[in-house]
Amino acid sequence: MSRRMTHGIRVLTVGALAALAAFPLTGCRGDRSDKPPRQFFPGMDDQPRWKPQAESEFFADGRTMRKPVQGTIPFGTTAMVSTAPWAEPFNAKREEFLAADSARYEGVDEETGDFITTIPIPVTSTMLSLGQTKFNIYCAVCHGYNGEGSNPALDPELGSMVGRRWSIPVANLHDPKFREGGEFGRVGYLYSIVRDGKGVKPSQTMSGYAYALDSNEAWAVVAYVRALQRAQQGTLGDVPESERSVLGAPPLPPVVEPQPEGQSGTDAAAPAGGES
Ligand code: HEC
């Protein structure tokens, strides 16, 4: 074979190889075809299933969409049932979806339709500190950490920074009308304010926090509001005997108010004129 020929073959071979390599780039992409697509893993493409609302030959009533079997419990977004400790919060949420108890979930007595006057879940110190955490996150920005609200017309310094600049006065949660026995003081009412806000959109004056506070958390906030109110109402009579000597400072002046169960003596004897 002459040198020339060898060279020619080489050129041809290289050219052919290059064309072959470029071939896949030209094909396949952007082409339309009426042929069935190539299936490399047919088991993944063709799965036995029904489309929603489609007809079924399998079921006597011809529907593919079946009713949940009797006794099925709505679960919401978390498809998980476990008794493991980590699952507790999810299981607690699960209760929420049942929401059949209007006192517990709406703060309203089922029979009378009135707001309830006692918190329907156990009030514990854990619950109160949860309430404090949530109050400080969601309420304090406007109502202040101690719930005094703000009213620039009365006192430009009162309340939180946001509250002072709010377009309308932010309610003072220590107002007697929001306390126990007050016109708007029932816990069920406070619960409804926490969850749904005050007024109806678009003329709502305070928006609701149901998106952030579930039923337990909302009750915890209500319990904490009660604790804040109580803290402002405290008298020396509330301090247990054993702790009283520890309080070297003069007690707060007694609040003139009917005492619930004739708490006798001590607060009347407290010297007036402590710091307020
Ligand atoms: C963005 C500001 C803002 C936040 C945050 C806020 N509030 Fe209010 N709240 C208001 C204003 C303003 C009013 C007064 C509404 C009115 O008088 O119409 C009010 C009123 C209230 C009232 C009295 C309702 C009534 O009948 O007059 C209660 C109780 C209350 N808020 C509790 C809460 C609690 C508890 C939280 C936290 C979950 C909270 N608020 C968060 C602004 C706020």
Q: Tell me the pLDDT tens digit for each residue of 150-186.
A: 888 888 888 888 888 888 899 999 999 999 999 999 9
Confidence of residue 18 (pLDDT cuts 50, 70, 90): low
| Residue 260 pLDDT exceeds 80 | no
Top-confidence residue, 146 or 259: 146
pLDDT for the residue 119: 97
Is the separation of the CB atoms in 229 and 173 below 8 Å? yes
What integer best gives the mean pLDDT of the chain?
80
Contacts of 52 (CB under 8 A, 6+ apart): 64, 65
pLDDT for the residue 207: 92
| Residue 228 pLDDT exceeds 90 | yes
Q: Evaluate the CA torsion angle 241, 243, 249, 254 in order and state its sign.
A: negative
pLDDT for the residue 5: 63
Kindly list the distances between the CA atom of residue 58 and the CA atoms of 49, 66, 70, 114, in Å, as whole numbers in the listed order: 12, 12, 21, 51
Ligand 1 geometric centre to CA of 136 (Å): 13
| Residue 63 pLDDT exceeds 80 | yes
Contacts of 266 (CB under 8 A, 6+ apart): 235, 236, 237
Ligand 1 test: best mutation among 141, 193, 222, most atoms within 8 Å of CB?
Answer: 193
Nearest alpha carbon, ligand 1 atom 1:
142
pLDDT for the residue 268: 42
Ligand 1 geometric centre to CA of 175 (Å): 12
Q: Give the whole-angstrom CA distance, residue 193 versus residue 138.
A: 13
Q: Which two tokens stand for residue 156?
A: 């430009």
Ligand 1 geometric centre to CA of 57 (Å): 57
Q: Give the whole-angstrom CA distance, residue 84 versus residue 263.
A: 46
Neighbour-count burial of 135, counting CB atoms closer than 10 A to its CB (0-12 exposed, 13-18 middle, 19+ buried): buried
Confidence of residue 267 (pLDDT cuts 50, 70, 90): very low
pLDDT for the residue 249: 54
pLDDT for the residue 26: 55
pLDDT in tens, 83-117: 778 777 767 666 666 667 889 989 999 899 999 99
Nearest alpha carbon, ligand 1 atom 31:
171
pLDDT for the residue 221: 98
Q: Give the whole-angstrom CA distance, residue 131 versus residue 231.
A: 15
Ligand 1 test: best mutation among 134, 137, 138, 143, most atoms within 8 Å of CB?
Answer: 143
